[in-house]
Structure 1
Amino acid sequence: MYIVKVLVEHAIYKLDTTYDYLSKYQVLAGCRVHIRFGYQQLVGYVVECQETLFTQKQLEEKNGFKYSFIQDVIDQKPLLNQELQELANYLSKQTLSTRISCLQCMLPPQLKPSTNHSVGIKYQKVVSFVKDIPLKTTKQQEALNYIKEHDLLPIKDYPFSTALLNNIEKQGAIIYKQVEVYRNPYNEHLQQEDYPLTTSQQKVVNQILASFHQFKTFLLYGVTGSGKTEVYLHLSRFVIEQGKTVLMLVPEIALTPMMVSAFKSRFGKSVAILHSKLSAGERYDEYRRIIDDEVKIVVGARSAVFAPLENIGLIIMDEEHDASYKQESPPRYLTSQVARKRGAYHQCPVVLGSATPSLESYSRALKGAYELCILSQRVNQKPLPQIELIDMVEEMKAHHYEVLSRKMKAKIQETIDKNEQVILLLNKRGYSSYVRCLDCDEVLKCPHCDVSLTYHKDTHTMRCHYCDFQVPYQQKCSHCGSTNIKLIGSGTQKIEEYLQNNFINSRVIRYDVDSTRKKQGHHQLLKQFENQEANILIGTQMIAKGLDFENVTFVGVINADLSLNIPDFRANERTFQLLEQVSGRSGRGKKQGTVMIQTYNPDHFVLQCVKNHDYQSFYQKEMEMRKLAKYPPYCYLISILVQGKKEDDVTFCSQQIKEYLVKQLPKAIVLGPANCTIYKMNDIYRKRMTLKITNTTHVYEVLHAMSDYYNKKGRKVNVICDFNPYTTI
Structure 2
Amino acid sequence: MYILKVLVEHSSYQLDRTFDYLSNDYVETGCRVSIPFGRQKIIGYVTECYQTDKTKHQLEEEKGFRYSFIIQIIDQKPLLNKELQELAKYMAKQTLSTRISCLQCMLPIQLKPKSQKTVGIKYEKVISFIKEIPLKTPKQQEALNYIKEHPLLPVKDCPYSLVVLNNIEKQGAIQIIQQEVYRDPYHENIQQNDFPLTPMQQKVVNEILLCHDFQTYLLHGVTGSGKTEVYLQLSRHIIEQGKTVLMMVPEIALTPMMVAAFKSRFGKQVAILHSKLSSGERYDEYRRIVEDEVKIVVGARSAVFAPLEKIGLIIMDEEHDASYKQESNPRYLTSQIARWRGKYHECPVVLGSATPSLESYSRALKGVYHLCSLPKRINQKPLPTIEMIDMVEEIKHHNYDLLSNKMKTKIQETLDKNEQVMLLLNKRGYASYMRCLSCDEVLKCPHCDVSLTYHKDSKTMRCHYCDYQIPFIKKCSHCGSTNVKLIGSGTQKIEEYLENNFLNARVIRYDVDSTRKKDGHHELLKRFENQEANILVGTQMIAKGLNFENVTFVGVINADLSLNIPDFRANERTYQLLEQVSGRSGRGKKQGTVMIQTYNPDHFVLQCVKNHDYQMFYKKEMEIRQLAKYPPYCYLISVLVQGKKEEEVIWNAKQMKEYLKKQLPHVGVLGPAPCTIYKMSDIYRQRMTLKVTKTDHLYETLQMMMDYYNKKGKVNVICDFNPYTTL
Superposition TM-score, scaled by structure 2 size: 0.99
Q: Assess if the C-alpha contact under 8 Å between 2:549 and 2:587 holds in 1.
A: yes
Verify: 1:428 aligned to 2:418, yes or no.
no
- For structure 1, which runs of at least 5 residues remain unmatched after alignment? none
1:288 corresponds to: 287
By how many angstroms is 1:29 displaced?
Answer: 0.7
What are the Cα deviations for residues 294-327 of structure 1, in whole angstroms up to 9, with x where unaligned? 1000000000000000000000000000000000
1:18 corresponds to: 18
Verify: 1:180 aligned to 2:176, yes or no.
no
What are the Cα deviations for residues 167-216 of structure 1, in whole angstroms up to 9, with x where unaligned? 211222222111222101000010000001011100110011010x2110
SS in 2 for 1:365: helix
Q: Assess if the C-alpha contact under 8 Å between 2:109 and 2:115 holds in 1.
A: no
Q: Assess if the C-alpha contact under 8 Å between 1:111 and 1:119 holds in 2.
A: no
Verify: 1:48 aligned to 2:31, yes or no.
no
SS in 1 for 2:476: coil
SS in 2 for 1:85: helix
By how many angstroms is 1:617 displaced?
Answer: 0.2
By how many angstroms is 1:240 displaced?
Answer: 0.4
Amino acid at match of 1:51: Q
By how many angstroms is 1:14 displaced?
Answer: 1.1
Provide the C-alpha distance between the structure 1 equivalents of 2:112 and 2:29, rounded to a whole number of angstroms.
15
Match of 2:722 among 721, 724, 727: 724
Equivalence map 1:462-541=2 (5 Å): 462-541=461-540
Provide the C-alpha distance between the structure 2 equivalents of 1:425 and 1:488, rounded to a whole number of angstroms.
19
Verify: 1:418 aligned to 2:417, yes or no.
yes
By how many angstroms is 1:115 displaced?
Answer: 4.1
By how many angstroms is 1:699 displaced?
Answer: 0.6
Provide the C-alpha distance between the structure 2 equivalents of 1:77 and 1:119, rounded to a whole number of angstroms.
18
Task: Kindly tell me the number of residue pairs found equivalent between the two proteins.
Answer: 727
Question: Which is worse superposed, 3-12 or 558-567?
Answer: 3-12
Provide the C-alpha distance between the structure 1 equivalents of 2:49 and 2:616, rounded to a whole number of angstroms.
58
Q: Assess if the C-alpha contact under 8 Å between 2:256 and 2:522 holds in 1.
A: yes
Amino acid at match of 2:333: L
Provide the C-alpha distance between the structure 2 equivalents of 1:357 and 1:155, rounded to a whole number of angstroms.
53
1:68 corresponds to: 68
Provide the C-alpha distance between the structure 2 equivalents of 1:670 and 1:308, rounded to a whole number of angstroms.
40
Provide the C-alpha distance between the structure 2 equivalents of 1:373 and 1:163, rounded to a whole number of angstroms.
66
Verify: 1:341 aligned to 2:343, yes or no.
no
Provide the C-alpha distance between the structure 1 equivalents of 2:321 and 2:629, rounded to a whole number of angstroms.
22
Amino acid at match of 2:201: Q
1:438 corresponds to: 437
Superposition TM-score, scaled by structure 1 size: 0.99
Provide the C-alpha distance between the structure 2 equivalents of 1:245 and 1:676, rounded to a whole number of angstroms.
43
Q: Assess if the C-alpha contact under 8 Å between 2:424 and 2:540 holds in 1.
A: yes
SS in 1 for 2:427: coil
What are the Cα deviations for residues 374-401 of structure 1, in whole angstroms up to 9, with x where unaligned? 0011012111000000000000111100
Provide the C-alpha distance between the structure 1 equivalents of 2:387 and 2:622, rounded to a whole number of angstroms.
26
1:708 corresponds to: 707
By how many angstroms is 1:145 displaced?
Answer: 4.1
SS in 1 for 2:688: strand
SS in 1 for 2:76: coil
Please identify runs of 4+ aligned residues in structure 1 that moved more than 4 A: none
Q: Assess if the C-alpha contact under 8 Å between 2:119 and 2:279 holds in 1.
A: no
Amino acid at match of 1:216: Q
Provide the C-alpha distance between the structure 2 equivalents of 1:590 and 1:151, rounded to a whole number of angstroms.
47
SS in 1 for 2:443: coil
Equivalence map 1:387-402=2 (5 Å): 387-402=386-401
1:657 corresponds to: 656
Amino acid at match of 2:204: V
Amino acid at match of 1:373: C
Verify: 1:59 aligned to 2:59, yes or no.
yes
Q: Assess if the C-alpha contact under 8 Å between 1:259 and 1:299 holds in 2.
A: yes
SS in 2 for 1:395: helix
Provide the C-alpha distance between the structure 2 equivalents of 1:142 and 1:458, rounded to a whole number of angstroms.
55
Provide the C-alpha distance between the structure 1 equivalents of 2:429 and 2:706, rounded to a whole number of angstroms.
38
CA RMSD of aligned residues (A): 1.0
Amino acid at match of 2:339: R
By how many angstroms is 1:69 displaced?
Answer: 0.7
Amino acid at match of 1:678: I
By how many angstroms is 1:144 displaced?
Answer: 2.6
Provide the C-alpha distance between the structure 1 equivalents of 2:476 and 2:70, rounded to a whole number of angstroms.
59
Amino acid at match of 1:74: I
By how many angstroms is 1:67 displaced?
Answer: 1.1
By how many angstroms is 1:157 displaced?
Answer: 3.6
Equivalence map 1:299-314=2 (5 Å): 299-314=298-313
By how many angstroms is 1:158 displaced?
Answer: 3.6
Equivalence map 1:511-590=2 (5 Å): 511-590=510-589
What are the Cα deviations for residues 510-556 of structure 1, in whole angstroms up to 9, with x where unaligned? 00000000110000000000000000000000000100000000000
Q: Assess if the C-alpha contact under 8 Å between 1:223 and 1:377 holds in 2.
A: yes
Provide the C-alpha distance between the structure 2 equivalents of 1:14 and 1:520, rounded to a whole number of angstroms.
40
Verify: 1:111 aligned to 2:111, yes or no.
yes
Amino acid at match of 1:673: P
Amino acid at match of 1:234: Q
Equivalence map 1:366-405=2 (5 Å): 366-405=365-404
Amino acid at match of 1:591: K
Amino acid at match of 1:56: K
- For structure 2, which runs of at least 5 residues remain unmatched after alignment? none
Equivalence map 1:46-445=2 (5 Å): 46-148=46-148, 150-211=150-211, 213-445=212-444
By how many angstroms is 1:65 displaced?
Answer: 1.6
SS in 2 for 1:631: coil
Amino acid at match of 1:534: A
By how many angstroms is 1:143 displaced?
Answer: 3.1
Amino acid at match of 1:444: L
